[in-house]
Amino acid sequence: MKIKTITSQTRRDFRAIYECEHCGTTDPGTGYDDAHFHERVIPAMVCGGCNRSADATYRPLATKYAPHEVV
């Protein structure tokens, strides 16, 4: 899965529409805007439509805030 659109964000918590790279299925969900979530959690998400996760070509988004910033 990958983030298609972030619909709202409060501090580092966000709501987004996730999209499968393989079949195009979209699912609403929540997330946390840090490097761990973008680099580890999102690529491991399994699509409800095709039961696949991201492949080696997945490119994580950059975080909105730097790791040292207090929001």
The predicted-structure confidence for 22-63, as pLDDT tens digits, reads as follows 999 999 999 999 999 999 999 999 999 999 999 989 999 999
- What pLDDT does 67 receive? 87
Beta bridge partners of 19: 2, 26
Residue 15: the pLDDT is 98
Q: 49-56: list long-range contacts, CB under 8 Å, 24+ apart.
A: 49/20, 49/23, 49/25, 50/20, 50/22, 50/23, 50/25, 52/20, 52/22, 52/23, 53/1, 54/1, 54/2, 54/21, 55/21
The Cα angle at residue 13 between residues 70 and 1, in degrees rounded to 5: 130
Instruction: Please tell me the predicted confidence (pLDDT) of residue 34.
Output: 95
